[in-house]
A and B are shown apart, each in its own frame.
Chain A
Amino acid sequence: MKRTLLAIALLALMGCQGKGELAMVGQSDPEPEPSTDTQDTQNSDTPTTTPEPTTIPEPQEGIQLPVSIEPPEMTGDETVFYLRRISQMLVGRTLTMEEVSQATAEGDEALRPILESWVAEAGFSTSIRYMLEQKLKASGERDGIDFDAPGRLVEHTVSNQLPMSTILKADYCIGTDGQQGDCDSGAPYNAGVLTTRAFLAGNASRFNLGRASRMMKVFACRAYPMEDDLQPRLEKESLIEMFRAQSAEEQTVEEAKDAFGNGDACYTCHGQFSAHAQFYVKFNENGQWIDEATGIQDPEGELGRSLNGLMTSHMLNDVAKADEGSDMFGKRANNLGEAAAIIADSDVFVPCMVRNVIEHTFGMTDSAGEEIDRTLLEAVAYRATNAGTTEPTMGTVVVETFIDPRVVAVVLETQNGGAQ
């Protein structure tokens, strides 16, 4: 036990000194407007301060996180209180009397087995589906577009206890009959929920900023600009002129001259936006993949819109404009499918999903979620991935999250009349 305490304390200290904090956007999510102003491209109505370009802190030499822990000591009453607090959002029901009896009799020893039984329930799959439907802004139906498709894939992934990365890596979609089948974008590859028309049409916007923002927000818990060593900026000279400026004086494009509201440089964000938006250059506003997409600006159209319902590329070169390959987290990806796999395999994906689960369970806003101690998220992710050696299921992530002593402590504090 002492060794766990030491590790947690050390992690807390590391977190205080660490750089590259999660830069997250506000709760409401209007479609982002293309702009050379970094604030306007955050997919948020809540201004966020631009973080210093930072690096992901490396674990200190010799320090390892525990790959397995037990819940903290709790009385029976505390365990019942804790489980009551989380059950409805995790499994869509109150506790059964059997669970109450077990928790009362066994205290903290009941926590893990009860959580493990929950994540096998249908209500758990439904809950995680709901969580990601909210995050992705996808549900229902409109104009023949199946906005339930992302949710079905999520539910399929969770209920079949598939690796959580399936949400981004699946090369199939789930039909209304519950069976695997083709996805609806028409792309010659798939990227889980990202290549559903629901995600693509629901987040379509000029320069593809909305799609890039949503992808980063939901699966990396990042906003632009993010850490340089997570997403290197594309070469300035490779971008169209309006996105190169690093000061108002450098801006030579008339339409972009007023876009320095927050004093930040266009290139600060768009050097990274450009890389991620490029993966969407062949998807039109209805989420259909168009092989002939050029990425060129429609000379008669609104800034950021290409021809035939497609969006303009950030790239300068005509060949590069039409190429749906780009850079994801410093690695070349030939299309959105490969980019999604890089996100799913990255060090930011699992901690971000831990954060999503905590926000969901406690009804937290994005801004409150932003304040979750990153060392907690990383510690849970470390255990859930068995020290980075396995791809966790959503169930594993949830169990490891809710046996964590620091999560338990926050909830039990509310029992004592603290914050609710």
Chain B
Amino acid sequence: MSRSIQIFIIMLTAVLTAGCVGEVEMSVGDATETDFPSGSVPGKVGDRTNPDTPETQLPPAFELIQETPQLLPFHVRMAKLSRVTGLAQDDPVFDEIWRNRYALGDHNYGQGIGPDLTWSASKMATWVKSIRPVCTSAEMQQTYPSLPEDLNALTMVAYGREVEEADLMIVEDTLAETGTGEAERYEAVCLSILSSLEFVGR
């Protein structure tokens, strides 16, 4: 269990420290039905198709500030697990998760329980424990017969992208501290992907 959390923390760190690259140039689309006044207007937006266009930013419409990672709402995490496995959410494979739903941040206002999307080590420990039946299920192994060999297929559904170097490094670290048994290695890789911040958080 502690190993799984350790994996998660490694992945969390990796995600948070991932470099952001790329430039942003904004322009806006054409109006198709407009009747605008003529005259000069303060504020301009750059048009990258025309390098001569002067560029000035409009004020941002709002700010996105997230100081700490947040978990996805419980229903989103469930939907993603369902998608990864191809199983309906009421499949017995998910029973343990449903049993722990409120510990995992689900809400029930009738009972006075609001959603709790804060990430914590204890919550992630409960998550890892709850998804073990998913990782050991026949359906999972049918869809992804061998891990890490089928890692790319898993990340394409779990992350919506192909496997990257960083993923491979994390898996490598995970396997370095895992036994040599095939089932054990499979479960370790599965847990590391399905408990990563990229999978459970935003």
Contact = CB atoms under 8 A, between A and B. Distances in A.
B166 interface: no
Contacts of A368: 62-63, 65
Given A69-B29, A415-B22, 20 more contacts: A3-B36, A4-B29, A4-B31, A8-B45, A9-B42, A66-B33, A73-B26, A92-B80, A95-B160, A97-B156, A134-B107, A140-B113, A141-B110, A147-B108, A368-B63, A373-B61, A406-B58, A409-B24, A409-B60, A414-B20
Interface residues of chain A: helix, strand, loop or mixed (majority): helix
Interface stretch (A81-89, A169-177, A259-267): A81-89
A285 B107 CA distance: 22
Contacts of B108: 139-141, 147
**6 shortest interchain CB distances as A-B pairs:** A70-B29, A94-B160, A140-B110, A140-B108, A147-B110, A66-B31
A327 interface: no
A93 B27 CA distance: 28
Contacts, number: 223
A67 B80 contact: no
A345 interface: no
Nearest to A108: B29
Interface of B: 20, 22-37, 41-45, 47-49, 57-66, 70, 72-73, 75-76, 79-80, 83, 107-111, 113-115, 117, 156-162, 202
B60 to A, nearest CB: 5
Interface in A95-121: 95-97, 99-100, 108
Nearest to A405: B28
Contacts of A64: 34-36
A196 to B, nearest CB: 12
Contact of B60 (A84, A134, A413): A413
Contacts of B80: 88, 92-94
A64 B35 CA distance: 6
Given A63-B37, A94-B158, A410-B60, A72 B202 contact: no
Contacts of A415: 20, 22, 24
Given A363-B70, A412-B24, A6 B59 contact: no
Contacts of A5: 28, 41, 44-45
A73 B61 contact: no
13 contacts: A67-B33, A69-B28, A88-B80, A89-B72, A92-B80, A108-B29, A142-B111, A202-B109, A362-B64, A368-B62, A372-B62, A405-B28, A408-B26
Contact of A1 (B20, B23, B27, B160): B27
Contacts of B158: 94
B61 A410 contact: yes
Contacts of A71: 29
A420 B35 contact: no
A73 B24 contact: no
B143 to A, nearest CB: 15
Interface residues of A, number: 81
A123 B176 CA distance: 38
Given A63-B36, A66-B34, A137-B109, A72 B160 contact: no
A10 B110 contact: no
B48 A371 contact: no
A358 interface: yes
B22 A139 contact: no
Given A96-B160, A371-B62, A72 B33 contact: no
Contact of B109 (A147, A405, A416): A147
Interface residues of chain B: helix, strand, loop or mixed (majority): loop
B30 to A, nearest CB: 5
Contact of B64 (A202, A403, A410): A410
B49 A73 contact: yes
A62 interface: yes
Nearest to B57: A409
Contact of B62 (A62, A72, A410): A410
A179 interface: no
B63 A92 contact: no
A368 B66 CA distance: 11
A221 to B, nearest CB: 14
Interface in A342-395: 358, 362-364, 368-369, 371-373, 376
Nearest to B50: A1
Nearest to B41: A9
A65 B63 CA distance: 23
B76 A88 contact: yes
A4 B156 CA distance: 38
A145 interface: yes
Contacts of B45: 5, 8, 405
Nearest to B160: A94
A12 B43 contact: yes
A376 B61 CA distance: 7
Contacts of B48: 73
A202 B66 CA distance: 30
Given A145-B110, A405-B28, A9 B63 contact: no
Given A147-B109, A372-B62, A420-B66, A1 B34 contact: no
Interface string A127-150: 100100110011111100101000
Given A1-B29, A139-B108, A409-B60, A420 B24 contact: no
A99 B20 CA distance: 22
